[in-house]
Amino acid sequence: MAAGCATPTGLPGPGTLNLALNRSLVSLDNKLNQFDAAVTVQRGVREALTRLTPDLKLHMVLAERFELTKPNSWTVRLREGIRYSDNSPVEIADITTALEMYRGTTGGFLATFFPEWPKVVKIDDRTFRMDTEAPLPILDYLMANILITPAKANKPEELQGGVGTGPYVVSEADRGAGNYLLDANPNYWGVKPAVSRVQVRFLPEESSRVVSLRSGEIDVIDSISPDSVEQLRGLPGVTIETRPGTRLTHLFYNFRKPKTHPLADPKVREALSYAINGPALIGDILQSSVVQATGVVPPDVAGAGKVGAFSYDPDKAKSMLNSLGVRDLNMKIIWESGEFASDTQVLEAVYEMLRAVGVRPTLQQFQPGGDISTWRQGKGGDWDLVANGYPSPTGLAITMMQGMYAGTEEKEKTRDTYHGYVFPAITRQIAAASSEIDEGRRTMLLERVQRDIWQTWPAMWAFAPKAVVAHRNRVGGLQLGANNSYDLTAVRLEV
Amino acid sequence: MTRYLIKRLGQSLLTIFLTVSTVFILVRLAPGDPAQAYAGPFATTEQLEEVRRQFGLDRPILEQYWVFLKGLVRGDLGTSFSFQAPALDVVLDRLPYTITLAVSAILLTTVISVPLGVWMAKRHDTRRELGANVAAIAGQSMPEFWTGTVLLTIFAVLIPVLPASSFTTWGGLILPTITIAIMQIALISRLLRREMVTNFAAPYLTVARSRGVSERRLTWRYAMGNASVPVVTALGTRFAAMLNGVVVVEVVFAWPGVGTLVVRALETRDYPLIVATVLITSMLAILVQLLVDLCYPLLDPRVRLGKASA
C-alpha cells in the first residue's frame, strides 16, 4: 500500500516531484475530467496535436503543422517518428478514432465546445485534412483538448490505461485512492523532463494540502483559498505563483423571468449592479485573489474585450430603482457551496449591499451534488440571481460566449440555455464571429458582440479568479498557465 | 452453539438486506442528480438523458431495485458512476487502508486504556486518579479534527518527524492512529475504571481477599474477568464504527479509506458506490459484533450463547 519513493518521514526523495491534487484523478484521460491541475498530469502522459502555452498561445505538439488551408478545411502534418510509450507509432487513424471516441463519450464535456466534429481525410502517412461543414477557425485550439491514444486502445469513455506519447509513463496507479506514480519516458520524442519521477496524490482537504506543503512532504499544491495563500505567503521555503485565470465567476441574473418582472428590464439589472462594492469584496474578503471583470468574459482569455466596468454607487442604484418604480424588490440568490473561494462570505456581503439599496434578498445555498443544476434550469424553483462559474478550457473568449450567450429558443425548450439568456441578435453575432476565418475581422466581430452583451447587463457583478499554486522553493521552472496548469517537462528540482 | 450461529447468521443476512435495500431507496429519493454530477454543470438535457439511460436511472425505481437484487445475488453491485469500475472493487481497494487504520487504532486503544483503567480504579478517588481522569475527560472532549490538526502541526510541520498525510510510508499510520485512539482511550479507560471500582467493592472480592488471594490475581483475574464483558463490547462497537470509516480523521490526514470514499460517493450521487460501501461496512460491523458475542463465554463462563442467562 505504501509507495516506495518517499522517505520514512514522508518527505519526497531528491529526484521525486510530489504533487497534491484537490480532486481525485480517477483516470489520466480527459474525456470527462479536465479540472485545473489534472490537466498538468494528463498532459504529462498523453498529448494532443496542439497545446496552450501558459499565456494561452497555441503551440504545436504532435502536429508539426496545423494550417487553415480552406475556409472549412485544415491541413495537419504529424511530426515524424513519434511513438507511444508502448513503442507503437502515432498514426492518422489514431486522430480519427480519438475524435470518434470523444464524440461518443456520454456526458463528455468537450462536445459543447465543438459546433461540429471535423472529418479526418488522410492525404499521406503523416498528412491529413480536417474538414467541417461550416468554417471552424478555432479548430487548432479545440484540438488541444483531444488527447491522442493508440486507436486500438481508445474507447468512448475515460481510459483506465496510460499509454500516450507524453514525457512520462505510468509506473503505479491506484485509481481508488487517486494516487499515481509517473516515471520519465525514456523514449520521449521531445525535450526530456528534468524530473525523473512524479508522484501524484489526492488530498481533498485544503488544510491537509497546506500542512503537507509546509512540512515539505508535498512540492506543489493548487486550488488554494485566499486565506491559505495568506498563510503560506512569506513562509520560508514556499513560493506562491499567481496569474490571471480563464474562469469567470459571476452573479448572473435569471433570464427566465416574465416580461413584467423588474429583472426583465436591463435598466433594473444595471441599477442593481451599482449596489455591489466590488473593490471591497475583492480586497476584504477575496484578498485580491481575483480581478474584477471588465467585460462579459475573463479579461485574460484570448479575444476578451474591455467593454464595460462595474462601479459602486449605491446612491445611483437607489435613485435608478426609484425612478424605475422598483421598491422592496425580493431577490433570491442561489449558489452551490464551494463554487468559488469564500463563497458564503461574499454572498453574505452581497446580501447586505443589496439591503442597503432597498432590495430584500434571500440566500439559498446548495450542497455539492445537490439540486442546484435543476434550479439553474428553472426546474427546481424560482430564483433571481445565481453565483456561478464558467470555465474556458480552450482559453478563448468565443467558446465561453457560445456556451453562455448563444442561447436560442430551440435550446430554451429543453432549458439548455445559460439561465434563460436568449437574445437572437447576439446569438447570430456570436455565430458570425465563430465562423469568421479572417482573424482581424473576427476580433472586431467579437468585440462588437461583447459590447452588445454587456448592454444587456447579464450579471450583477463578475470576477475572474487568479490561477494560483504554491510550491516548495526546491521546485524550479514551474510556469503556471492561465488555466491553472503547468508543463511538467519544464519543472526541475533544485538540490 | 451451532443453532446460535445459524440464527445469528440469518439475523445478520436479514439486517444487511434491509440496510442495503433502505439505502438503495433513500439515496434515490434524496435531492441531487447522478447524471448531472457525472456530466458536469453544463451538460445539455440530451446528454443528461443519455447518461441516465446508460446508468439505468431512466427506469422505474422498482425495476432498478430488481436489477440490483439480481446483481447482488451474483456479487455484482453495479458500476461506480465516477470510477467507471465495479463498485465492489472500488470499495475493496479502499478497505485495506481502513482496516489497517482501525486495527492499529483499536490495538493502541487496548494497550493503553486497559492498564490505565486498572491504574485509575486502583487509585480511585485519589489526587493522581483525579489528574488522570481529567486528562481522560479532556481526551474524550477533544474533537478529532482538532486533535489531528494539532498533531499534524507539531509532528509534521514544527518537528517534521512524521508524514503529514496519506499512506506513503508506514510512518503515515502513526498520527491518524493516535488521533483516533486518544478519544477511544479516554472512553474505554473510564469505562473500565468504573467497572473495576464496582468489582473491587463487591463482596466476592472481599471474600477472595480474606482467603489470601494475591492482589495481582484479584485485579487481573477476578475483577478484570467481570469488567471485561462491557469493555470488550465497547471495544467491539468502536472497532465496528471505525470499519465504517473514520471520516473526519480520514479527511484530515487524507487517508484513502472507506470514509472519504463515502463522502465522495455522496457528493457525486454515485448510487452503486454508496450501496457497495454500505454493504461491505455493514457486513464487517456485523461480523465484528458476532465475534464479540462469541468471546463472551470465554470471558464469563456464566454466559451461554443461544440460551437464556442463568
Residue of A nearest to B38 (CA): A107
Q: For chain A, report the end-to-end CA distance as a whole number of angstroms.
A: 28
For chain B, positions 211-250, list CB contacts with chain A under 8 A.
none
Burial of B147 (0-12, 13-18, 19+ CB in 10 A): buried
Give the CA dihedral A337, A342, A346, A351, nearest 10 degrees.
40
Q: Which of A427, A387, A400 is nearest to A253 (CA)?
A: A387
Q: Which of A271, A292, A273 is nearest to A281 (CA)?
A: A292
DSSP H helical segments within A233-274, as ranges? 266-273
Distance CA B253, CA B149 (A): 9
Distance CA B275, CA B68 (A): 10
**How many Cβ pairs closer than 8 A exist between chain A and B?**
170
Q: Per the CB < 8 Å rule, is B152 touching A368?
A: no
Q: Which residues of B touch A158 (CB under 8 A)?
A: 84
Q: Per the CB < 8 Å rule, is A26 touching B83?
A: yes
CB-based contact (8 Å) between A414 and chain B?
yes
What confidence score (pLDDT) does residue B140 get? 83
Contact (CB, 8 A) for A336 and A370: yes
CB-based contact (8 Å) between B146 and chain A?
no
What confidence score (pLDDT) does residue A2 get? 44
Out of A1, A175, A211, whose CB is closest to B156?
A211
Query: What stretch of H or E contains A346?
Result: helix A343-356
Distance CA A484, CA A374 (A): 29
For chain B, positions 155-184, list CB contacts with chain A under 8 A.
156-157, 160-172
Q: Which residues of B touch A237 (CB under 8 A)?
A: none
Q: Per the CB < 8 Å rule, is B160 touching A215?
A: yes
CA-to-CA separations, B98 to B83, B171, B239, B292, in angstroms, rounded = 19, 16, 11, 20
Contact (CB, 8 A) for A77 and A90: no
CA A26 to chain centre: 19
Q: Which of A461, A229, A230 is nearest to A346 (CA)?
A: A461
**At A451, is the secondary structure helix, strand, or coil?**
helix
CB-based contact (8 Å) between A412 and chain B?
no
Distance CA B14, CA B286 (A): 11
Contact (CB, 8 A) for A342 and A277: no
Q: Which residues of B touch A215 (CB under 8 A)?
A: 156-157, 160, 163-164
Tens digit of pLDDT for each residue in B161-179? 888 777 777 888 999 999 9
The single-letter DSSP state of residue A376 is H
Question: φ, ψ for residue A189 (rounded to 5)?
Answer: -75, -25
Tens digit of pLDDT for each residue in A407-431? 999 999 999 999 999 999 999 999 9
Contact (CB, 8 A) for A117 and A16: no
Residue of A nearest to B257 (CA): A177
Q: Buried b / exposed e across A355-372, counting CB within 10 Å, b at 16+?
A: eebbbebebebbeebbbb
Average pLDDT value for residue range B224-248: 86
What confidence score (pLDDT) does residue A319 get? 97
Beta-carbon contacts of B146 under 8 Å, excluding residues fewer than 6 positions away, are none
Q: Which of B158, B150, B251, B145 is nearest to A216 (CA)?
A: B158
Out of B43, B82, B156, whose CB is closest to A215?
B156
Q: Per the CB < 8 Å rule, is A24 touching B264?
A: yes
ipTM, 2 dp: 0.77
Give the CA dihedral B62, B68, B72, B76, nearest 10 degrees.
170
Distance CA B145, CA B151 (A): 10
Give the CA diameter of chain A.
72
CA-to-CA separations, A50 to A43, A63, A450, in angstroms, rounded = 11, 6, 27
Residue of B nearest to A371 (CA): B32
What confidence score (pLDDT) does residue B171 get? 84
What confidence score (pLDDT) does residue A333 get? 98
Contact (CB, 8 A) for A176 and B86: no
Q: Which of B103, B121, B94, B117 is nearest to B259 (CA)?
A: B94
Q: Per the CB < 8 Å rule, is B153 touching A177?
A: no
Q: Which residues of B touch A379 (CB under 8 A)?
A: none
The single-letter DSSP state of residue A462 is E
Residue of A nearest to B50 (CA): A106
Q: Buried b / exposed e across A276-305, counting CB within 10 Å, b at 16+?
A: bbbeebbeebbbebbbbbbbbbbbbbbbbb
Distance CA B288, CA A423 (A): 63
What confidence score (pLDDT) does residue A10 get? 62
* Nine-digit cell string for A358: 432597498
Q: Per the CB < 8 Å rule, is A370 touching B32?
A: yes
Q: Per the CB < 8 Å rule, is A107 touching B261?
A: no
CA A386 to chain centre: 19
Distance CA A281, CA A351 (A): 12
CA-to-CA separations, A358 to A180, A268, B26, in angstroms, rounded = 54, 13, 42
**Other CB atoms closer than 10 Å to residue A409's CB: what's the count?**
10
Q: How close does chain B come to A244, measured CA to CA in Å?
A: 23
**At A238, is the secondary structure helix, strand, or coil?**
strand
The confidence band for B308, taking pLDDT boundaries of 50, 70 and 90, is low
Question: Cell 481508488 appears where?
Answer: A176
Residue of A nearest to B30 (CA): A370
Tens digit of pLDDT for each residue in B70-107? 999 998 999 998 888 899 999 998 899 999 999 999 99
What confidence score (pLDDT) does residue A1 get? 45
DSSP H helical segments within chain B, as ranges? 2-29, 34-39, 45-55, 61-74, 87-122, 127-141, 144-152, 174-200, 203-210, 215-217, 224-243, 247-252, 258-267, 271-299
What confidence score (pLDDT) does residue A4 get? 47
For chain B, positions 56-95, list CB contacts with chain A under 8 A.
82-85, 90, 93-94
Tens digit of pLDDT for each residue in B213-233? 898 898 988 888 888 888 998
Type of residue numbered A166: G
Out of A9, A158, A217, whose CB is closest to B165?
A217
Residue of A nearest to B159 (CA): A215
Distance CA A208, CA A218 (A): 10
Distance CA A278, CA A350 (A): 9
Residue of A nearest to B152 (CA): A211
Q: Which of A144, A67, A72, A39 is nearest to A102 (CA)?
A: A144
Q: Which residues of chain A have pLDDT under 50?
A: 1-4
Question: Cell 471583470 appears where?
Answer: A293
Q: Which residues of B touch A2 (CB under 8 A)?
A: 167-170, 172
pTM across the whole model:
0.83
Contact (CB, 8 A) for A146 and A94: no
Q: Strands A63-70 and A248-253, how do they pair?
A: unpaired
Average per-residue pLDDT in chain B?
88
Question: φ, ψ for residue A174 (rounded to 5)?
Answer: -125, 85
What confidence score (pLDDT) does residue A12 get? 66
